[in-house]
Amino acid sequence: MAKIAFLGLGVMGAPMAGHLAAAGHEVCVYNRTTAKADAWVARHGGKAAATPRAAAEGAEFVMACVGNDDDLRAVCTGEEGAFAGMGEGTVFVDHTTVSAEVTRQLSGAARALGIGYVDAPVSGGQAGAENGALSIMCGGDTDTYARAEPVMGVYAKICRRLGESGAGQLAKMMNQIAIAGVVQGLSEALRFGEKAGLDGRAVVEVISQGAAGSWQMANRYETMLEGQFDFGFAVDWMRKDLGICLDAADEIGAPLPLTALVDQFYKDVQAMGGGRWDTSSLIARLRALDGGS
């Protein structure tokens, strides 16, 4: 079993760290809100640290799942950052969805210190984290990934190296691009059915078994029809991710017309007060546009 630090105990990080503890690893956690770290320790054991550096000291692996580029820089760098507490030959694994730019910066800084670095964003949402069934897209050198893979495997359904540093983040961008279009299409289909006077549940029972079927349809159609949007990934975070996708697309010259459009639709949802609603709330925007009848 390994000595592991886990930085960030949000809806994803807390259950991921919990799986590590349940598997027998020695886990030290850090969270910006210390009460969350204390509550995690009360539930899972292990210990909490006051800073990322303190959490990382003596750890073989340091895992992070924080909010955005700035949050990741904050837990990695500086006098109290994790890198300052990590020894040569240790491995840092970043599960945050961040830009390719910050990944390049931090992986380079880690390399200069003799620290291995794997960018490993996840997909599967809160349920995937709680059930230990995440899809993990990884970038980094082969040897470092091979060392980290068994640790990540504790909470992964599939974990795969897709290239050198940054490849994991680029793959996560593909994931978010694909999801954006699927959710908008599902929202339009369900709202069309409502306006046409059809029984949405009966229709989905049929079409979900054909080419229209998707994870989003299987897991979100009922709550979408009921107007319940407190499940999973929030609109605010999706807009953060889509912004990363659109910036990267500009950099490499890849057109993303649908993604750009759906990003603006999510902006409309934010303006409706739905920033903390889950991403399936695109249907609420359609209802608002046509009067909700």
Active site residues: 172
Task: Label residue 46 left, alpha or beta by phi (over 0 means left) and psi (-120 to 50 means alpha).
Answer: left
CB 68 within 8 A of CB 102: no
What residues are paired with 209 via a beta bridge?
A: none
Cα 66 to Cα 73: distance, rounded to the nearest angstrom: 10
Question: What is the Cα–Cα distance from 108 to 259, expressed in whole angstroms?
Answer: 30
Residues forming beta bridges with residue 104, ordered by sequence position:
none
Report the Cα 253 to chain-centroid distance in Å.
25
* Residue 130 host element (H or E): helix 125-131
Burial zone of 55 (CB within 10 Å; 0-12 exposed, 13-18 middle, 19+ buried): buried
